[in-house]
Amino acid sequence: MSQLLLILFIGSFLVYLLTRMNWIIGVLANIGLAIYSFYRLFTFKVGTSESIFSLIVNQNGTLVYSELSKFFGIISLIVAISVYFFLINWLEKQKNRAVFNFFLALITASTLGVFFSGDLLTLYIFWEIMLLFSVLLVQMGKEDSKKAALNYLTISLIGSYMYLYAVFMLWNRYGTLVIKDIVQKISVETSIFKWAVLILIAAAGIAKSGIFPLHTWLRTTQGSSPDAFSAILAGQLEKLGAYMLVLTVAVFPSLKMFPVLYGGIPVFNYVLIVLGMISILIGTLMAIKQNDMKMLIAYSTVSNSGYILIGLATMDKIGFAGGLFHAFNHAIASVMIFLSFAAVIYRTKTSKIDEMGGLIWKMPLTFITYLVGIISLAGIPPMSGFISKWMIFVVLVKKGMFLTAAAAFIGSVGSFLYVFRPLAGVFLGQLKSKHKDVKEVPIFMLIPMLVLVVITVFFGVIPGPVLNMITAVEKELNIQPLEHTMTVIKSSVGQWNTLTVFTMFAVGFIIAFILYMVFPKAKRIPLTNQYTAGEFLYNYDLYHYSTRFYAFFERLYEKHPSVEKLYEMFGKFFKDIGEFLNRWFYSASPSAYLLWFSIVLLAIFWVRW
Amino acid sequence: MTIFKVAAVLLTGFFVGLTLEGIARKIIARVQRRYGPPWYQNFIDVFKALSKHGFSHGWIFDFGVLMALGGVIATLSFVPLGNLVAFPGLDNVFVVLYLFAVGALGMAMGMVGSGNPNASIGVARALTQMLGYEVPYLVSLAAIIFYYKTSSISNLMNLQADSWNLFKMPIGAAVAFISLMGMLGKKPFDTPIAPAEIASGPMVELSSKYMGLLMLMHTFSIFVEISLFVDIFLGGGSYLVFLLKFTVVWIIATLISAVLPRFRIEQVVKFYWRVPLGLAFLQAFFVLIGWVF
Amino acid sequence: MISLMIAIPLLFAFVSIVFKGLAKYALPFIVLLNILILLIASTPVVENIGGWKAPFGISLVLDDASYYVVLVVNLIFLLLSLIPQIIDKGYDTIILLLLTSTNGLVLTGDLFNSFVFIEITAAAAYILAYHRNNPYGAFKYLIIGGISGSFYLLGTIFSYVGAGSLNMAHISNNSFGQLTAAIAILFILGLGVEAKLFPLAGWVPDVYASGSSLTPTILGTAITFAIMYLTGRIFITVLHGTFLDVLYILGLLTVIVGEVAALRQDKLLRALAYSSIAQAGLVVAAISLNNIDSLTGAYFHSMNDLTAKFILFPIATVVIKGFEKDRLAGFAFSVASFSLIGFPLFAGFRSKLLIISSAFSAGNYILPAVLFFASIVEAAYLLKWNIKLWFEKSDTSNNIPWNLKTIVLVLSILLLIIGIYPDLYLDASRKIAQSILDTQGYINSVLGGI
């Protein structure tokens, strides 16, 4: 593994040089590296560990290859490879191509590093490398990405420093950082220590995957970062957060560490579940409001991370599997969606929903990618997204967690609302006259999108291969494995067969198609030939309903409290304090200096002596 | 064997559904002191629409209609009609409910693809309404699944042999019925199509066979929705008993809608999230503490 | 032999008063000579001026700690002498004087002597600070510096009263009850101003942001490092750790205040000055933990900080048009910022890690929390400046001299190397820490057999 990481890190420098010479070769080299590491993932033996450099005295860094690292590694490489393919055409319009490519390669390398890490400090190092270079990539986007990058950096650092604090608490207590050793010792600790450590570790995952209350960076960051990188952000980096959450609830044995409450769920996990619920609600309601399509999907990420967290935190065989599978599905689906957006923006130069319309006539394949992506994201059969949502619903209902289930239902039905908004506003409806000459994107952008479509449909029909990986992870983490066959998913409250559902859908479609063919042919009329209640229309650009699509619904929660504003207030507060300090202590007159000097003198005399 | 069962389910849906829709028109007419069309009027409508030469707004319009009908047909085939079960053991509640969404999505996509803003507004309303009624409905279903420890519809049906859920969990049944009204799009919840406001919303650009196919889809949808209610809350029964119960529910729903005005769309959501959702939680709470009659 | 390190620069300073322009050319050779002396010297060397034996005479002590500190200080002056462009006209004599006094400050084993050198350093600093457009800042510095100097002197007098001698080793060897506290307080006030502790050191932003690139570059690196050494030496070696808790609290306060105050600055130099304050506070807080790991971490961190600041300050003064045409300078600037924030792969991460782990081992859970908070704030404003400078649109370059460019580039690569292979700095700082903690060794080597 260390060999692979070394190759990747050195390779990324090579990618930089190659991209400087000829950017297409650079991108190809990047793809080559990613494919090579994808291949290597299957050649490693699960359970092998290696030790690498040492950072603290007596503490070697270790790398461990587990089923978990394999699972997440596969997700992140699928995402990386498809986005890199996309870059073959997309990168042409980006400035600083070499740096862009270089950072992407470094991010992939450090992401794999995180998954391979066998001890907490090594994990932190790779984590921070990934963070640094992703921040640098974010700010290469459009104008407001500069501010977004700061936002992203600050919140991520809050998470990762909390994590590092926990790491040192553990190191101080046990003198070791190897995860395997720590988890064996920690269950007998005092409960305050356990709570502190796990909350601090979870904070990193919460910040990264965009769970309330550290979700605020997602909107601006995903909204304004370079379009292709948004896909990486959603598909690859936020899954690091999911990985961290798995670490918190499952690798650290939450079932053994905390007393269990209602439904056999440890009390610590309930805290996470509540956060997950709030994320689902916030994500859904805010996504419905967005007019920028990337920001819309950014909020949907908040909501879906909530699902992942809830699924994982139940620690139930089906719920945990649902959480992992949802991480997989969300990665693929959000990459499809962001890539299709990137394609749209590539051609239209805008990401505002109400500035577009009718693009389906110009970019049909992009549309199909988006369609399949949202069907999976919203959890509608026969795509794979439904399977994981089903698993999460089942576990919530089975355990009688009705409030959480209600939040999950709201998130699920709400997702129909928000994913439909770009569908209607961007792809359907009247084509804007300024987009009359838009063409479908070039072939290399289409290939990864369509391949992802195939993957989503395939795993929606035959989820067996993914489920096999998930059950392997569950076995490794001492959770009862999910019962399933290639196409049947079983739970204690019933089962269903993905293949049957797909077949029936196909049959239904064929029946409909036969009926359609049997009856007389219709005449194709242009979109401007419309029912207009008898009025004449001259500007069809305006005959398109996309601004404030759900205005009537948004009105119901217009005056919602905003965490984002709260944080802005905090930021302003600190700045004001800084200004105050500056005025009173640093820009003061000499006499003021003397005053402070004597105050310190007196204070020390009185207090200390 | 499965093929025949599926065919039987679909044919039942077709004939019974269209007949009952015709009867509903008759009932409404009588409530409003009109004579009303004959009971077979809907058959005539469907075939007439299907046989005409009409207009299409491009491939997504066609595709949406096909997806809508295909999705609903697929959904219907999973719904047990009394003891007529096409896929025993695989008739999971959530699968049926979400497969149902494929049809809805297909229709929404096709209709918005027509490029008419009235259709978009109608679809936006329909989706919002869905957000309203699905949540209480799913919560009350969740209580039932939790109680019976199974999410297979036919199992749920068979487990009510002694007493119907209508009596065991009356609040849940009431919630489900109110949600059912929303699903059916019956007054007071017919905001999405509101003919006087948005020119029948999604249907505004429909003509000829598209209209016919979507009428079929509508019929099947109604069949799925009411069947779920009958199976889960009224104990299903044999095929004929099932149809009888089905007819009764349909007539009651029609009668209620015949005398009510229409909600505004945000009122729909507010109403559903206030009253039925609260009741659904109450029912869930009763189930948790074991107050099931 | 080692007294030459003080004498030669002083001599040349005098000479350069008459032969204007000589100093500029002499500086590199003087510094090289100093380094040469250091290379052939073997620690510990104790040299008694005028033949008076300690504790009666003035002695210069070159033990492990002062060896490495002097080495670092001279290396910084060497780097400085390689970029004569940033030394403003007429200031070259001052630089020589500063070199004299800093070397003396570090080498001396005598409290009064150290007072003298501190005063010379301060005087040189006042003159440096008196930049064309910043007379008021220099004036404020002069006032507060003068006061603190008198407190330092008072502390020296008190120790003389108590121990009957001015020799550090001799004072360290005696214990004088109640008086220790008084001495410690006086030294805290005396050193606090130079060590940039809050709320004593209000002068820093005004002086550092005077607009001259020489002032912050030399004050923020070499002088700061020497003062940090002196703080450790006096409070740990001489006073055996008395009043370290006060230093600890002041240090933590300085970290927080420095970082928060930097947030709103709209001038880059001022922001960097605050960052410098905060880093100094962190180093003082880490020193005050008084164990080998924390001291190592503190000096290691101080070295990383000064390396980064030697990149940041000159570039910050030279670059006004952004990095669009000066990518290499921009690269160095970014690397230095990331190192200051403490990202892995960069030098700052290693020292912060060391400080944190030593704090945890000492059972201190507050310092790491403060450090993390400070790092978050620091990351926020440093990255803001980085982004701002990288995206400034300009068609022309900033005319950065080639030698400055080379030096910052080399230093930034050094930061990267330290991040991966820290032994170079780590060994030096461990030696410093060991020797500062080794009170008995110090006494023995200075006082000899007495």
Q: How many residues does chain A have?
A: 609
Spatial separation of the C-alpha atoms in residues C391 and C398, rounded to whole Å: 14
Phi, psi of A596 (to 5 degrees): -65, -35
Query: How far is the alpha carbon of C400 from chain A, nearest alpha carbon, in Å?
Result: 23
Question: Residue A312: which of A348, A357, A281, A269 has the closest Cα?
Answer: A269
- From residue A127, how far is each of A134, A176, A238, C343 by CA, in Å? 10, 19, 12, 10
Exposure letters B166-198 (e unless 16+ CB within 10 A, then b) = bebbebbbbbbbbbbbbbbbbbbbbbbbbeebb
Which of C134, C140, C158, C423 to mutate: most A Cβ within 10 Å?
C140
Residue pLDDT, tens place only, C1-39: 777 778 888 888 888 777 776 777 778 888 888 888 888
Spatial separation of the C-alpha atoms in residues A269 and A258, rounded to whole Å: 9
Does C377 touch chain A if contact means CB atoms closer than 8 Å? yes
A-B C-beta contacts closer than 8 Å: 260
Residue pLDDT, tens place only, C62-118: 888 888 888 888 888 888 888 877 776 677 788 888 888 888 888 888 888 888 888
Spatial separation of the C-alpha atoms in residues C68 and B270, rounded to whole Å: 74
Q: Letter for the amino acid at B201? A: G
In chain A, residues with a C-beta closer than 8 Å to the C-beta of B134 are 409, 413
Spatial separation of the C-alpha atoms in residues A565 and A553, rounded to whole Å: 22
Strand partners, C110: C167
Residues 6 or more apart from A269 whose CB is under 8 A from it?
A249, A254, A258, A313, A314, A315
Q: Strand A59-64 and strand A260-261: pairing?
A: unpaired
**Strand, helix or coil for residue A51:** strand
Subunits in contact with chain C (3 or more CB pairs closer than 8 Å): A
Identity of the residue in A154, A168, A172 whose CB atom sits nearest the CB atom of C376: A154
**For residue A52, what is the enclosing H or E element?**
strand A49-56
Which of C260, C289, C331, C389 to mutate: most A Cβ within 10 Å?
C260
Which of A214, A221, A586, A596 to mutate: most C Cβ within 10 Å?
A586
Number of domains in chain C: 1
C401: tokens are 């001299």
**Contacts within 8 Å (CB) and 24+ apart, C326-334:** C326/C397, C326/C398, C326/C400, C326/C405, C328/C405, C328/C409, C329/C398, C329/C400, C329/C405, C329/C408, C329/C409, C330/C389, C330/C390, C331/C409, C331/C412, C332/C408, C332/C409, C332/C411, C332/C412, C333/C386, C333/C389, C333/C408, C334/C386, C334/C390
Percent of chain B whose pLDDT exceeds 70: 100
SS (H, E, C) A423-437: HHHHHCCCCCHHHCC
Residues with pLDDT less than 50, chain A: none
Percent of chain B whose pLDDT exceeds 90: 0
Spatial separation of the C-alpha atoms in residues A231 and C410, rounded to whole Å: 37
- From residue A443, how far is each of A104, A343, A365, C196 by CA, in Å? 22, 11, 10, 61
Phi, psi of A463 (to 5 degrees): -80, -5
Q: What is the CA radius of gyration of chain C?
A: 21
Between chains, do B70 and A515 touch, taking CB under 8 Å as contact?
Answer: no
Question: 């309303």: which residue's tokens?
Answer: B125
**For residue C98, what is the enclosing H or E element?**
helix C92-107
Does A514 touch chain B if contact means CB atoms closer than 8 Å? no
Spatial separation of the C-alpha atoms in residues B285 and A401, rounded to whole Å: 10
C397: tokens are 């370059």
The domain limits of chain A are 2-505, 570-608
Residues with pLDDT less than 70, chain C: 21, 50-55, 88-89, 131-133, 175, 397-398, 449-450
In chain A, residues with a C-beta closer than 8 Å to the C-beta of B90 are 495-497, 500-501
**How many other β-carbons are positioned within 10 Å of the β-carbon of residue C114?**
22
B280 burial type by CB count under 10 A (0-12 exposed, 13-18 middle, 19+ buried):
buried
Which of A501, A525, A543 to mutate: most B Cβ within 10 Å?
A501
Between chains, do B139 and A405 touch, taking CB under 8 Å as contact?
Answer: yes
The DSSP secondary-structure symbol of C222 reads I
In chain B, residues with a C-beta closer than 8 Å to the C-beta of A525 are 55-57
Between chains, do C264 and A56 touch, taking CB under 8 Å as contact?
Answer: no
pLDDT score at C131: 67
Query: Is there an interface between C and B (3+ Cβ pairs < 8 A)?
Result: no
- Asked if A49 and A181 count as a contact pair (C-beta separation under 8 A), the reply is no
Spatial separation of the C-alpha atoms in residues B129 and B274, rounded to whole Å: 14
Question: Residue A408: which of A269, A556, A238, A276 has the closest Cα?
Answer: A276
- Asked if A133 and A106 count as a contact pair (C-beta separation under 8 A), the reply is yes
- Asked if A56 and A121 count as a contact pair (C-beta separation under 8 A), the reply is yes
C51 burial type by CB count under 10 A (0-12 exposed, 13-18 middle, 19+ buried):
exposed
Query: How far is the alpha carbon of B30 from chain A, nearest alpha carbon, in Å?
Result: 31
Spatial separation of the C-alpha atoms in residues B288 and A401, rounded to whole Å: 10
**How many other β-carbons are positioned within 10 Å of the β-carbon of residue A49?**
15
Q: Letter for the amino acid at A465? A: P
Which of C346, C383, C386, C420 to mutate: most A Cβ within 10 Å?
C383
In chain C, residues with a C-beta closer than 8 Å to the C-beta of A114 are none
Does A410 touch chain B if contact means CB atoms closer than 8 Å? yes
The DSSP line for A244-281 is: HHHIIIIITTHHHHS-EEGGGEEHHHHHHHHHHHHHHH
B56: tokens are 């299409």
Residue pLDDT, tens place only, B167-216: 788 888 888 888 888 888 887 888 887 777 777 778 778 888 888 888 88
pLDDT score at A54: 66
In chain C, residues with a C-beta closer than 8 Å to the C-beta of A575 are 263-264
CA dihedral C403, C406, C407, C409 (to 10 degrees): 160
The domain limits of chain B are 2-289
Spatial separation of the C-alpha atoms in residues C302 and C311, rounded to whole Å: 14
Subunits in contact with chain B (3 or more CB pairs closer than 8 Å): A
**How many other β-carbons are positioned within 10 Å of the β-carbon of residue A317?**
20
pLDDT score at C406: 86
CA A265 from centroid of its chain's CA atoms: 25
pLDDT score at C59: 81
Q: Search chain B and give the residue with CA nearest A529.
A: B57
pTM: 0.90
Exposure letters A559-596 (e unless 16+ CB within 10 A, then b) = eeeeeeeebeeeeeebbebbbebbeebbbbebebbeeb
Q: Letter for the amino acid at C198? A: F
Handedness of CA B153, B154, B159, B163 (dihedral sign): positive
Spatial separation of the C-alpha atoms in residues A246 and A204, rounded to whole Å: 12
**For residue A66, what is the enclosing H or E element?**
none
pLDDT score at A609: 58
A positions 523-582 inside 8 Å of B (CB): 523-525, 527-531, 533, 543-546, 549-550, 552-553, 555-556
Query: How far is the alpha carbon of C99 from chain A, nearest alpha carbon, in Å?
Result: 28
Q: Strand A494-497 and strand A523-524: pairing?
A: unpaired
Residue pLDDT, tens place only, B57-85: 888 888 888 888 888 888 888 888 877 77
**For residue A607, what is the enclosing H or E element?**
helix A590-608
Strand ranges (E), C59-133:
59-62
Identity of the residue in C203, C261, C353 whose CB atom sits nearest the CB atom of A578: C261
Question: 């006499």: which residue's tokens?
Answer: A591
- Asked if A53 and A6 count as a contact pair (C-beta separation under 8 A), the reply is no
CA B175 from centroid of its chain's CA atoms: 15
Residues with pLDDT less than 70, chain B: none
Domain boundaries, position C298: 4-447
The DSSP secondary-structure symbol of B144 reads H
Between chains, do C189 and A587 touch, taking CB under 8 Å as contact?
Answer: no
Question: Residue A9: which of A90, A99, A80, A102 has the closest Cα?
Answer: A102
pLDDT score at A397: 86
